[in-house]
Amino acid sequence: MIDAALIWEWIIKSLILILFLTVGFAYVTWYERRLLARIQNRIGPNRVGKFGLLQPVADAVKLIFKEELIPANADKLIFVIAPIITVTPALVVLAVVPWGESLQLFGRTIDLFITDINVGIVYIMAVTSISVYGITLAGWSSNNKYSLLGGLRATAQMISYELALGLSFVGPVILAGSLSLVDIVRTQQNGLWFVIPQIAAFIIYFFASIAEINRAPFDMPEAEQELTAGFLSEYSGMKFAVFFMAEYIKMIAISAIGVTLFLGGFDGPFVGQLPWLGPIYFLGKIIIWLGILIWVRATWPRIRYDRLMALGWKILFPAALLNVMVTAIVVAVIGK
């Protein structure tokens, strides 16, 4: 029988993770607006609270009270549940990502992750593939040609970049000899961070993950100059906000997964002696990764759709396959 204290531990850690992601989503929008303003020689939000820190709260209140419209000929049930299908995978994907070393609290050893399953990478790949269904259903249920095209683009984009993204995971898995993210981080603690021997996989992961979450410059499913707002065209109020939340939570998720696979996760100086430093290092690396994502959005123009597909199929996918082959041969010949 499972210990009741262990069940409560799981519940509390799950609530902490969900709270971190939902609050983090709000302040990633603030971070993006402030950083974009710096890059573009503007001021950014600075009126609501010190440094504009209460701007996300003001935006949330505004969206809660905005009128929500549903098109007369839309499939109302699918239209309503599509945002939920999109945001739910983003909230649960980080369940297998470790935040830090184990801590001794209240006479118990508390692991700083919700669960450590031996197929953590497979879990991540399975869960991240689900959210595109919400986007596709949102486009179809809106009964709008622009929305439908946006949903179809999202599907094509996910299929094209999912292969390269999945293969970018294989290099770290081969080097660690495990599909568990905890084992991958511990392997990096005992040697080099995988960004050094797996620099090709790191670059492939970075670009494929941006395309996977439809982030600029790969935000073709909602390209306003072609599709008005794509799958979002008919959404308003809180339903629009949930799609918005899903995008930014997925930004946090791909940053956390990338940090775990390639940048040592929570590893850093003195983590062995001071385990509470692990979550701080982990959060700091995520913030830097998010800053780079925002920087990319600010400086790179949206590319043409056929070139987006060509990048995925003709460059990233073959490069990822080559990286897997080279890594496997090197590990087999030289050893881990």
Predicted confidence at residue 228, as pLDDT, reads: 65
Residue 9: how many other CB atoms lie within 10 Å: 17
Measuring CA to CA, which residue among 5, 17, 7, 191 is closest to residue 96?
A: 17
Query: pTM, whole model, 2 decimals?
Result: 0.90
pLDDT of 154 higher than 60: yes
pLDDT digits (tens, 9 = 90+) for 282-315: 999 999 999 999 999 888 888 888 888 888 899 9
pLDDT of 26 higher than 90: no
Q: Give the chain's radius of gyration (CA, Å).
A: 21
Which amino acid, residue 25? F
pLDDT digits (tens, 9 = 90+) for 193-221: 999 999 999 999 999 999 888 887 887 76
DSSP-derived pairing of the beta strands 103-105 and 108-110: antiparallel
Q: DSSP of 228-293, one letter per residue?
A: TTGGGTT--HHHHHHHHHHHHHHHHHHHHHHHHHHS-TT--TTTTT-TTHHHHHHHHHHHHHHHHH
Q: Which residues contact 31 (CB under 8 A, 6 or more apart)?
A: 287, 290, 291, 294
Which residue is associated with the tokens 């799609």? 243
Residue 89: how many other CB atoms lie within 10 Å: 22
Predicted confidence at residue 2, as pLDDT, reads: 64
Please give the average per-residue pLDDT across 159-169, as a whole number.
89
Residue 57: how many other CB atoms lie within 10 Å: 13
Provide the β-strand partners of residue 112: none
Predicted confidence at residue 275, as pLDDT, reads: 80
Predicted confidence at residue 147, as pLDDT, reads: 81
Provide the β-strand partners of residue 104: 109
pLDDT of 324 higher than 90: yes
169 touches 178 (CB < 8 A): no
CA dist 82 and 32 (Å) reads 26
pLDDT digits (tens, 9 = 90+) for 222-258: 665 555 666 777 787 788 888 888 889 999 999 999 9
CA dist 197 and 223 (Å) reads 36
Q: Which residues contact 261 (CB under 8 A, 6 or more apart)?
A: 169, 172, 181, 184, 194, 205
Which residue is associated with the tokens 């905005």? 66
Label residues 259-280 b or e (16+ Cβ within 10 Å = b): bbbbbbbbbbeebeeebebbbe
Please give the average per-residue pLDDT across 166-183, as a whole number.
91
pLDDT digits (tens, 9 = 90+) for 262-273: 998 888 888 878
pLDDT digits (tens, 9 = 90+) for 95-145: 889 888 877 777 777 778 888 888 889 999 888 888 778 888 888 888 888
Which structure tokens are listed for 74? 């839309």
CA dist 334 and 264 (Å) reads 22
Tally of CA atoms within 13 A in the half-sphere of 178 that contains its CB: 15
pLDDT digits (tens, 9 = 90+) for 79-100: 888 888 888 888 888 888 988 8
H or E stretch including 8?
helix 4-39
- Residue 108 is given by DSSP the state E
What length is written for the chain?
A: 336
135 touches 312 (CB < 8 A): no
282 touches 259 (CB < 8 A): yes
Per-chain mean pLDDT for the chain: 85
CA dist 263 and 282 (Å) reads 9
